[in-house]
Each structure stands twice: as C-alpha cells, then as structure tokens.
Amino acid sequence: MIPPLMRTNNPNNIVYLDIETTGLSLSQGARICEIAMLKVSDGIETTFNQLINPNQLMPELCSKIHGITDDMLKDSPKFADVAQEVANFIDGFVLICHNASFDLNFISKEIMENYIQPPEMYFIDTLTISRQYFSFSSNKLGNIAEILDIEVKEQHRAMADVLTMQSISKYLFNNLYRKGIDTLEPSYFEQSLTYPTI
C-alpha cells in the first residue's frame, strides 16, 4: 500500500526509527545491538526500545561510541525474538530516519533472516532533507541539534537519537511548510535482499 503524502504541518502515521550496531558494514557481519522506535498516530505516541543480543562480541571501538557493552547485551533478546513485533510496529507507517539506507538495510536483513514477510517500507530521510533544503554547516544529527540549540541528553543511543530526530524533524517540517512545501512524498525502500535458503 502506497502511503499518502505527508503533510509538513501535521506529520501523522509516522515512526521515528534508529538503531545501534556492532559495526558499519552488513557485508562484514555487523548486527543490530539496539533498536528504538517512536510511533505518532492521531496525536498518540507509542514507543519501542530494546537492546538486542547480536550473538557476537561488541568491538571496543563501537562500544566507545555508543556505550553498549557485552555485559549489557548478554541477557537481552536476540533479534529473532522481536522480529515479528518490529515488523508489526512499522507496518503501514512512514519511517523517518537520519541516513535511512543504513538503518533500513539492517532492519530488512534481520527481518528476512528470520523468515518474516517484510512490510513494505516507505521512508522520509531527514539527512536528505537537511542537505536539499537547508544549509547547516554539518548534517550530522548531533551537529544539527547543536546548531538548533536542541538539548541532547545522550548521543549514539537509539532512543535518545530518536527523540533528537523528532525535535529536529519538527524544525525541518515547520520550515518547509513556511517555504510553501506543504507535503513530502515518502520514498520506497527497495529491499534487494532475498530470503536465506534452508
């Protein structure tokens, strides 16, 4: 189902999504170690926030960035345990991410590896919007927040980044509306991965 255009003055039926991982490269085996989502539907906000046991050791460099350690993850569920819940949470909603291809490639891979029918994913990328319509000196999430004087309680943790992204998005969407851009068309995420063979 193709979602309707998103109104910049009243974003609705959206899910802000962010993940933390054990590395930057799917091809080199990096996995999700935390996922956070904030759903906004008709004024009601619903959250999902979960540490994920990636079934691999956390590289020290990554741990220094997001502060997630092996000890924090050892008793957490594996993605397989929450894959269906994640798919259900985002199904039918427009995803808002900062650098969406990174997050959605990981999400898509994890869902498909667990033989769950992936939902159609439509998204709006705040990184793309920042580059296309604004002139920030840096388009990193934390730097935009600093420029806009948005308080960031904790960088590089999934829910903290989701809340930062929500605040930044309000600024972006409100300013687009003032510029006469009433709607944004969500992009379709092409899930090129195939189901693993048994």
Catalytic residues: 156
Residue 114 falls in which region: left (phi positive, over 0), alpha (psi -120 to 50) or beta:
alpha
Q: Using CA atoms, how far apart are residues 17 and 12, in angstroms rounded to an integer?
A: 15
Q: Using CA atoms, how far apart are residues 156 and 83, in angstroms rounded to an integer?
A: 22
For the four alpha carbons of 164, 166, 167 and 171, in that order, the dihedral sign comes to positive
Q: Which burial class, exposed, middle or buried, applies to 158 when counting CB atoms under 10 A from its CB (0-12, 13-18, 19+)?
A: buried
Q: Using CA atoms, how far apart are residues 176 and 8, in angstroms rounded to an integer?
A: 7
Q: Using CA atoms, how far apart are residues 182 and 5, in angstroms rounded to an integer?
A: 9
Q: Which residues pair with 122 in a beta bridge?
A: 94, 188
Residue type, 190: E
